[in-house]
Amino acid sequence: MKQKIVVVDYGMGNIHSVVTALEYVTDGQAEVLLTSQPELIQKADRIVFPGQGAAKDCMRELQTLGLDQAVLEVAQQKPFLGICMGLQVLMAHSEENDGVDCLGLYPGEVRHFGEVSEKGERLKIPHMGWNNISQTRLHPLWKNIADNSRFYFVHSYYVDPEDAALTVGECEYGLTFTAAIARDNVFALQCHPEKSAAAGLQLLTNFIEWDGTE
C-alpha cells in the first residue's frame, strides 16, 4: 500500500512546487496530497508543512482553517518536514508585524536580520538566493548531502531557538543563524529544498525514506 504524504495547504505561498518536487522524488511510489482538511492531515503517514508570507497572515490562516492544532498534533507524532515559514511558526513568537504569537512547539524567537551585519556592513533584505548550509550535527536528512551544500533562500527573518541543541544546520548572512532544526520526528529548514536542485531533491528523498528518528 502506498504511503500518504500530505502537504499542508493554508493558502500561503506557491506550494505547488513542493508537491511537484515530492511527486518527482517518489516517482509514483507514494500518494502526495495537498490539503487543508485537518482530518486528512491527521491520517497521513508523513507531513510537509511549507509556507511563505508574513507571520501574522500565516497564523491567521492556520487558525481560521482550524489547522493550528492539527499541525501541532502531527508534529509530535509523525515524520514532519517544515519549510521556510513552516519552520518559523514552530517557534513561540515572531518579531514580524509588531509581534506575533506562533505555534509554540519550541521556545524561541523569530528575528529580523536588520539592515547592518555584525561587522557593520549593509545587508540586502530579504536574504535571497543561494547560500551554504553548514551541518552542525549528524541527521538522517543530511544523508548523501555534502556539508556546506548550497540551498535556495528567500527570507527577511530567521529563527533563534532557545535550545541550541535544536540546531542541525547554520548559515551565514550578516551573522550566523539557524538554518535547520531537528528533534525526534521533526526536521524543519529555512531554505526551499524544492528549489535547491540536487541537494534539495536529495533532502526530500531522505525525508520520504526517514523513519522519524534521529
- CA-wise closest residue to 49 among 89, 4, 21: 89
CA–CA gap between residue 162 and residue 110 (Å, rounded)? 11
E strand spans, 85-148? 91-94, 100-101, 106-112, 127-135
- 213, three cell numbers: 528518528
| Catalytic residue check, 93 | no
DSSP 8-state class, residue 113: -
119 has a pLDDT exceeding 90: no
- Region 14-27: what's the mean pLDDT? 94
What pLDDT is recorded for position 201? 98
Residue 78 has φ and ψ, to the nearest 5°, of -130, 160
116 has a pLDDT exceeding 80: no
Q: Which CATH class is domain 3-209?
A: alpha beta
Among 61, 127, 191, 194, which one carries the catalytic annotation?
194
- 120, three cell numbers: 557593520
Place of cell 555584525: 118
Are 22 and 83 a contacting pair, CB within 8 Å? no
pLDDT digits (tens, 9 = 90+) for 28-63: 999 999 999 999 999 999 999 999 999 999 999 999
- Region 1-26: what's the mean pLDDT? 93
| Catalytic residue check, 112 | no
Are 90 and 39 a contacting pair, CB within 8 Å? no
Domain segments of the chain: what residues? 3-209
- 200, three cell numbers: 534539495
Q: What is the pTM of this model?
A: 0.97
For the chain, what is the mean pLDDT? Answer: 96
Are 55 and 102 a contacting pair, CB within 8 Å? yes
Among 58, 84, 102, 191, which one carries the catalytic annotation?
84
| Catalytic residue check, 192 | yes
187 has a pLDDT exceeding 90: yes
153 has a pLDDT exceeding 80: yes
Among 127, 139, 155, 192, which one carries the catalytic annotation?
192
